[in-house]
Amino acid sequence: MTIRVAAAAALALAATALALAQPPARRADSPAAAAIPETEREQSYAPALVATGERPYTAQCGFCHGLDAAGASGGPDLTRSALVARDFRGDEIIPVIRAGRPDAGVPMPPFPAISDEELEAIVAFIHDRKTRAESLEGGRRAVTAEDVQSGDVAAGRRYFETHCAACHSADGDLDGIASRIDGLDLMRRMLNPRLGQGQSLRGTPRVTLTTANGERFAGLLAYRDEFTIALTEPDGRYRSFVTRNVELEIDDPLTAHFDLLGQYTDEDMHDVLTYLHTLR
């Protein structure tokens, strides 16, 4: 039984691209496709102040909100923020930076030590990036969870019951899955569970090897390439073999996932993914 991890990873990446190219008839309204909200009160900042703000913004805000303020690791796109659109010279941005947002989906810590001068410069930098974003054609900067929910829930449920329910249950192992993983992360996990962090023993292939002199070894697959295969025995012992010198049997509990990669239509994939997002 062949383990097609590399092929699965490639198809998962292809799925990411497909998520960005769904026909309008099947798309839900997408936050990423919405127009950038207009700044409510006109304001301008000196180029020197904007340049000054880039350094503290990058150091304190850039990791979460992106170096261009268009969103990154958990932080929202500030160029599309309604709060930024309402803000006038920091009257709404600065209180949030000072106090943080501990109740947000991805909590934002407070930054009480940033000086007033740096805050003023950060505000100038954020507004400058918003103004620049408004001048760009298009606007998609990221894929949100809403973007990939472009399928039909009922069709996704039917597909799940036909192809997935032998191993998975909506009120069992997948109960609440969308509250733990969503968007592209859930799509990647659906297409290739090994791409997810925290792989359980339940999803690890089991290997039985027979050597030329008839010795048999069994355990969990630990490593495999074109030349070498290794396993971990139940007592924790690690054993490595030259592939051409052994007879090999692999029982991979994720084979069904990889088999489906060659069967999914684009519509099937998004129907199932949209259905999985209802399991909260």
Euclidean distance between CA atoms 136 and 130, whole angstroms: 10
User: Residue 121: is its pLDDT beyond 60?
Assistant: yes
User: Residue 185: is its pLDDT beyond 90?
Assistant: no
143 versus 70: the higher-pLDDT residue is 70
Give the phi and the psi of residue 224 in degrees, each rounded to 5.
-155, 135
* pLDDT (average), residues 249-267: 87
Topology annotation, domain 206-251 = SH3 type barrels. (2.30.30)
> Across-strand partners of 246?
211
DSSP state of 174: T
> CB of 3 within 8 A of CB of 252?
yes
> Where does the pLDDT of residue 32 fall: very low under 50, low under 70, confident under 90, or very high at 90 and above?
low
Task: Report pLDDT for 195.
Answer: 66
Task: Report pLDDT for 201.
Answer: 57
Task: Report pLDDT for 140.
Answer: 56
Q: Where are the domains of the chain?
A: 5-29+146-199+262-276, 31-134, 206-251
pTM, whole model, 2 decimals? 0.48
Residue identified by tokens 């309604």 is 82
CATH of the domain spanning 31-134: 1.10.760.10
